Amino acid sequence: MKVAVVGATGMVGEVMLKVLAERNFPVTELLVVASERSVGKKLTFQGKEHTLIGLETAVAAKPDIAIFSAGGDISLEWAPKFAAVGTTVIDNSSAWRMDPSKKLVVPEINAGELTKDDKIIANPNCSTIQMVLALSSLHKTYNMKRVVVSTYQSVSGTGVKAVQQLENEIAGIQGEMAYPYPIGKNALPHCDVFLDNGYTKEEMKLANEPQKIFNDRTFSVTATAVRIPTAGGHSESVNVEFENDFELTEVRRLLNETPGIVVQDNTDTNTYPMPIYAHGKDDVFVGRIRRDETQPNTLNMWIVADNLRKGAATNAVQIAEYLVQNQLV
């Protein structure tokens, strides 16, 4: 299994390599791909040194799978070139997510839709992945009508410059700003760029991607995405209205039985999900499960996950695992 990781030196790319190693993905040959300025440098994977190569060299090598985390423009230009030589591309950018000809996949929910003909597969937005995984079994059972989500997103979702900005502010150092304002001791209601409708691009991803993943337009999502001064891990306050009523004990049972979900929900012991404890883990943590007492059939939940792992790298590797296990590559 010849595997290329495109964007191998980025924050998500580094985690992708780590997850591939941890999960013992059957890599027989690894191609680590980076921008031209990094070509020729070395990195270590499973104790072996690898030389970074450019995109043209990687395409010529015809890998079986290429996992991309190098930005939308790179994906739009290069994913079709890999696909043209028979490579299956799993893309972590937003480039292909809403393309009607491409699958948008969370393996626990809709990997069964994948076929050998899917040569470019989209990895959803990090905030979307953790939300839909927590909602999947509940939607099947009770039928969602409307979801209101407010996110509390870490600086690692922006990238290494944002992490450095937060670290600089904590240390009292003047440095390069990833955001238009300080992030330390602050909260920015501004994730990604603003669109003409007054929402940010991140908020519209949360609105649109779940409908595609569930292949269902009967529910709607409205979102407010906020950047907070945590180094890693995204948190979400989710209010979901269902067609049908529910019992909280049944909701907890369904969540406990959902692969990839860990319920942390005991107010007597102050047990609830927090990003500091989600760090480095592949699970999605759900707590503060309670009925919305202001209207019928409505539930409140608090959902937390490591955005670089299940929100990006791990989900992509799980897609690759499914392709290998089902002989789709």
Q: What is the pLDDT, as a whole number, of residue 35?
A: 87
12 is in an annotated binding site: yes
DSSP state of 271: B
CA distance 245 to 248: 10
Minimal CA–CA distance to 262: which of 302, 228, 232?
A: 302
Q: Which of 50, 126, 139, 191 is catalytic?
A: 126
Q: What is the pLDDT, as a whole number, of residue 36?
A: 86
Q: Which CATH class is domain 127-307?
A: alpha beta
CA distances to 73, 188, 225, 280 from 312, rounded to whole Å, are 18, 22, 18, 12
10 is in an annotated binding site: yes
Q: What is the pLDDT, as a whole number, of residue 118?
A: 98
Q: Which of 139, 190, 234, 279 is catalytic?
A: 234
Domain chopping of the chain, boundaries: 2-124+312-325, 127-307
37 is in an annotated binding site: yes
237 is in an annotated binding site: no
| Bridging pattern class, strands 42-45 and 29-33 | unpaired
pLDDT tens string, the chain, 329 residues long: the values are 999 999 999 999 999 999 999 999 999 999 999 988 889 999 999 999 999 999 999 999 999 999 999 999 999 999 999 999 999 999 999 999 999 999 999 999 999 999 999 999 999 999 999 999 999 999 999 999 999 999 999 999 999 999 999 999 999 999 999 999 999 999 999 999 999 999 999 999 999 999 999 999 999 999 999 999 999 999 999 999 999 999 999 999 999 999 999 999 999 999 999 999 999 999 999 999 999 999 999 999 999 999 999 999 999 999 999 999 999 99
156 is in an annotated binding site: yes
DSSP state of 311: I
Q: What is the pLDDT, as a whole number, of residue 12?
A: 95
Give every strand in the sheet of 88-91, ordered side by side: 29-33, 2-6, 65-68, 88-91, 120-122, 103-104
Q: What long-range pairs does 58-63 form, CB within 8 A, spacing at least 24?
A: 58/4, 58/6, 58/31, 58/33, 58/82, 59/85, 59/87, 61/2, 61/4, 61/31, 62/2, 62/86, 62/87, 63/2, 63/3, 63/4, 63/29, 63/31, 63/87
Which is the CATH superfamily of the domain at 2-124+312-325?
NAD(P)-binding Rossmann-like Domain (3.40.50.720)
DSSP state of 294: T
234 is catalytic: yes
